[in-house]
Structure 1
């Protein structure tokens, strides 16, 4: 069971919904210690006074900045006095269309859950209302002494809270793009071929199909070294396409994409061949195939394969 990291309530209008806050994601990155090369000796860090070289206790450390040539320090208590407070409410001040929020503003996602069973009714009321209107509730929220701008939105089964960057924290892409970038417009034929490649590679978003292959490779590396084996080096990444060869690379990509379409169809049929008649019927029902009850198994398989391909093309 995930650990609750905050308890409070959502307020919108005169409605108050007690909720708990939970992290929506977890980091599976492999954690390493640091060792001196050639030994099993751990390397650790100490807090050291830069002038005297003496180690400083954590409780004797304060924060500070240099202003006008003088170092100004502040005590933790002074920071707490001017902090926005230990907020126990998420006060929604306005609702906005979720599609209007640029993805660049999204920072981190949390789940919100009712604190008690009695709170499920108002909780689901807010979730379904926002889901039907595609609205997100904008609120300021204080967590661990820091104020966040947040968007409360409806997921399929729960309310989600996304912390957002403030507007002045978003960098303008014009600051990093060269002025010549806007003038390097692609030729019409190149754009058409690139569009063809994108359409042929389009499909539905299935996050389960993607895995952290790097972490798996790190685990394999550690296992091989533990057994005394010499790990194999990964293949070098492909070199960037030369501008001169761009059209030829696009043309070959289009040919490759077209040839893979036939392979995708056969792969789809191969997958369906492993399903039972009942599973095929369930798939046909989801796809809205008419007359499925009168179809033989091979007819049903062909109809599901065709309907699945059509849905993928429409999604693109």
Structure 2
């Protein structure tokens, strides 16, 4: 059972609800140790007194603000003493329409749980009311010596707390990006083709269809180096599309994105004269193979197909669509 990273009282109006915050996400990033080249010696970071060169225990370290001619020392307990509500209260200032909060403001997510079954009714009431209203409670509170702006939401039958960036933390893209276009002129045919491409690539959102392929490749690299083998290098990045070739690239993209059912016969008839892509050729080839094999593969999710493609060492699998993965696997049967 997970332990809360913060515990306190959530209040809205005159209603108070003791809650705990629980980390909602995990990171599966592969961690590396630092070693001195040519040895197996670990490199470690230590807290060292810069004057004496001696290591300092964590309990002997305090915060110091450089005031110019001296350091002003601040103890951790003193920060808690000046925190709003002494770091134990999360008071909702108001409720805003969720559609008004731009995605760029959202930072980290926590699950909110009641501190005891006796608070189930208050918890459930707030969760249900927020879900029906499509609103989020906005508040500020202090956790671990830092004040946060948060949005309290109802999601999948529970309350979630999302830390938000402060307004002055959001950078102006027009100042940060030197080549950001102010106005863009496109032809009607280019716009029509772009809309067709978006339509052809439309899909239902299912996070299970996606997985961290780079971490898989890192794991494969580690295993290969352990056994003295080599690994497949990543495909080179695509070349930038110039304005002259834009229409040609859009048309080829639409043809590639369409399903084999829609483009199989067309690709066969046009061949390379129409600039058919390697992916389109794969789909045409797969159509002539066993339909039962392809049918069984098509019923799998993209994540399941990718695992099979990784096991079969299918080249270029990281950039393939669901149908292309199924075709590539079917061609190997």
The TM-score bracket by the shorter chain reads 0.7 to 0.9
Distance 2:147 2:5 in 1: 15
**In the alignment, which residue of structure 2 is the partner of 1:40?**
40
Distance 1:273 1:198 in 2: 22
Q: Offset of 1:242 from its aligned partner? A: 2.3
SS of residue paired to 2:87? coil
Deviations 1:257-279 (A, max 9, x none): 33546389x99x9369979xxxx
Q: Offset of 1:186 from its aligned partner? A: 2.5
Q: Judging changes above 3 Å, is the alpha-carbon distance between structure 1 residues 5 and 75 closer, same or farther for their aligned structure 2 residues?
A: same
**In the alignment, which residue of structure 2 is the partner of 1:300?**
none
- Contact 1:127–1:154 (CA<8 Å) still a contact in 2? yes
1:121 aligns with 2:121: yes
Per mean C-alpha deviation after superposition, the further-off stretch among 85-94 and 164-173 is 85-94
RMSD over aligned Cα atoms: 2.8
**In the alignment, which residue of structure 2 is the partner of 1:200?**
200
**In the alignment, which residue of structure 2 is the partner of 1:236?**
236
Deviations 1:132-168 (A, max 9, x none): 1101001112111211111101001200000111111
Per mean C-alpha deviation after superposition, the further-off stretch among 37-46 and 94-103 is 37-46
Distance 2:59 2:3 in 1: 28
**In the alignment, which residue of structure 1 is the partner of 2:133?**
133
Structure 2: runs of 5+ lacking an equivalent? 265-286, 301-333
- Contact 2:80–2:86 (CA<8 Å) still a contact in 1? no
Distance 2:246 2:51 in 1: 58
Distance 2:27 2:263 in 1: 36
Deviations 1:12-69 (A, max 9, x none): 11212222210110111111111011211111123344456554444454444555x5
- Contact 1:49–1:56 (CA<8 Å) still a contact in 2? yes
- Contact 2:36–2:42 (CA<8 Å) still a contact in 1? yes
Per mean C-alpha deviation after superposition, the further-off stretch among 79-88 and 110-119 is 79-88
Alignment: residue pair count: 272
Distance 2:12 2:51 in 1: 54
**In the alignment, which residue of structure 1 is the partner of 2:258?**
258
- Contact 1:86–1:143 (CA<8 Å) still a contact in 2? no
Q: Offset of 1:3 from its aligned partner? A: 2.3
**In the alignment, which residue of structure 1 is the partner of 2:74?**
75
- Contact 1:62–1:75 (CA<8 Å) still a contact in 2? yes
**In the alignment, which residue of structure 2 is the partner of 1:270?**
295
SS of residue paired to 1:190? helix
Structure 1 length-normalised TM: 0.77
Distance 1:10 1:75 in 2: 28
SS of residue paired to 2:234? coil
